[in-house]
Chains A and B, each alone.
Chain A
Amino acid sequence: MARFTTGTNPRHFHRSQIKFYVILTPISLFMILPIIFIISHALKPLDELFLYPPRFFVRKPSLDNFIELFAATKSSAIPLSRYLLNSIVSTALVIFFTIWVSVFAGYVLSKKDFNGKNLIFSLNNLALMFVPTAVTIPRYLIIDKVGLIDNMLVNVLPIVAMPVGVFLVKQFIDQIPNAMIDAAWIDGANDFQIVKNVIIPMVKPALSTVGILAFQMAWNSTEASTLYLNNDNLKTFAFYMTTLTSSTGNTVAGQGMAAAASLILFIPNLVLFIIMQSRVMNTMAYSGIK
């Protein structure tokens, strides 16, 4: 580095980096404040929740809110564990199918020649911008027509096709030399074996990214529960949480429970991302549109 004392991606700490810390620290504090708040709020006993003046941090952490949350749902027709189970099962299915579908689509779009390939990929790129809320109504009609209303699968199928996922995986598979795939062909592997034994091990970083994105989408999704499911037994935890806040509103007991529920909803997101973050960053370097 010739001119600047601090360059991009430095290897060692240097005094000149201090200014970046000075700028970034307050920004990160602002970013993390609400997150700390959910954690702290969820642990507050009732008297601290409604303390005046309100206090940001918890003094005497307790698990009362969680106990109350589980107790409150015990008396209702559907226990909390049911919502959690629905969320866990549908999220797991979404992750599995999204990865599976994306890797096959990415493989075909990257390594096969056929008519309309470019058209499909550009349609996919266009669909990167797809905003589900804009077409809620037609989606509802289609889901009604294919008979998915009040079907557990409605938590899964509509979000399995993930244009961002196909896009990222395809960009990654583009980096794999054709010679490798040809070699596998000559050894007598079929397409499924190639994907399983050659492609998947090589694009693992991209697949973990797809997995994370799919997880976030499925775990936080309330759309299916709000619109397509009338049977409360099939609704998800994220949806249950929104009902906690809107139906109990600002009532005394509701707030603590809502805080506890939002913590339960948030933690898996964070943990999973922390575990996977290096792979995710790695994938994003290849996110260029070529």
Chain B
Amino acid sequence: MLSPYLILFFLFIAMPVFIAIGLSFTYFNTVQTPKFINIQNYITLLTRDDVFMQKVLPNTIKYALIVGPGGYILSFILAWLLAQLTRVPRTIFALIIYSPSLTSGVTMAVVWSVLFNGDQNGYLNSLLMRMNLIEKPIQWLQSPDYLMTIMIIISLWSSMGVGFLAMLAGILNISDELYEAAYIDGIRNRVQEIIYITIPSMKPQMLFGAVMSLVNTFNSSGIGVALTGSNPTPQYAGQLITNHIEDFGFIRYEMGYAAAVSTVLLLIIYLASKVAWKLFRDD
């Protein structure tokens, strides 16, 4: 009964990971058989890939650090605020806040690219020009100065996903007695209440939320390419590791090298999840 799941799991989730690790030690152009070249790809990655070191890696770190923890903290705060309301308004607000993650960020790129359109017909440009804040339209999406910020805003906007729902449910399921006991023990303000009661009582949901926010961060990273319509993004301004992988794998057909980059990405995600696990496991 477990076998259908196991077969699909190994075929499409576990095996790709092993193959990626294997391929990362080869030169592979999709036509000829992979040629074993030891750790050459990793050496190239570390020493010769300037784009990776100077643009992609800093971009990814910046993006992940803001969108990951940022989205996570935001979803906890929003969930907590919602929990202070009565049932009906809470449900309505929760629906609204969850609704952006119902669509994938990439499909929403249509809407965002209209809002941030680079000519005077763009909504943001038009608004700023009417308020006399700018004189001529800004190329929001093609300009390296703004692209990253816009990507971060959109990703945060769509980051209230499953983790947010779990946290909301977690907060609502803490029993009243716990709070009562805390008031008797002398908890004086809301911050104390949250730190000593709310968060410790919902550690499992907090961990689940952390993991989900991590996944969301890396899954939403196609947004830069979707917004600008090109890979690489203009001057690599919004280039993230996943875009770099697609660039080498599917545009330049250097699969071995792309696999090495994938392995590095998997390692980063694994380490990040270890940190999340350490922080929130109660033992």
Contacts and interface: CB of A to CB of B under 8 A. Distances in A.
Interface of A: 1-4, 6-13, 17, 20-21, 23-24, 27-28, 30-32, 34-35, 37-38, 41, 50, 52-54, 56, 100-102, 104-105, 107-109, 120, 123-124, 126-139, 141-142, 146, 157-161, 163-164, 166, 191-192, 195, 213, 216, 220, 222, 227, 238, 241-242, 245-246, 249-250, 255, 258-259, 261-262, 265-266, 269-270, 273-274, 277-278, 280-285, 287-290
Given A8-B83, A142-B15, A24 B93 contact: yes
Interface residues of B, number: 107
B242 A284 contact: no
Contacts of A191: 1
In order of increasing CB-CB distance, the 7 nearest A-B pairs are A288-B204, A138-B19, A161-B8, A105-B5, A135-B16, A138-B16, A285-B169
Contact of A38 (B111, B179, B214): B111
B258 A137 contact: yes
Contacts of B109: 245
A129 B84 contact: no
B45 interface: no
Contact of A131 (B15, B111, B219): B219
B53 interface: no
Contacts of B179: 1, 7-8
B12 A134 contact: no
B205 A287 contact: yes
Interface in B213-244: 214-215, 218-219, 221-222, 226, 229, 242
A289 to B, nearest CB: 5
Contacts of B149: none
A277 B96 CA distance: 12
Interface of B: 1-2, 4-6, 8-9, 11-20, 23, 78, 81-86, 89, 91, 93-100, 102-104, 106-115, 117, 120-123, 126, 130, 157, 160, 162, 165-166, 168-174, 176, 179-180, 183-184, 187-188, 190, 193, 198, 203-205, 207-208, 211-212, 214-215, 218-219, 221-222, 226, 229, 242, 245-246, 249-250, 255, 258-259, 262, 265-266, 269-270, 273, 281
Given A129-B215, A135-B16, A287 B99 contact: no
Say whether chain A's binding surface is mostly helix, strand, loop, or mixed: helix
Contacts, number: 295
Nearest to B82: A24
Given A35-B99, A133-B246, A262-B108, 13 more contacts: A10-B84, A50-B121, A104-B1, A107-B1, A127-B9, A129-B214, A134-B242, A161-B11, A213-B162, A245-B110, A266-B102, A269-B103, A273-B98
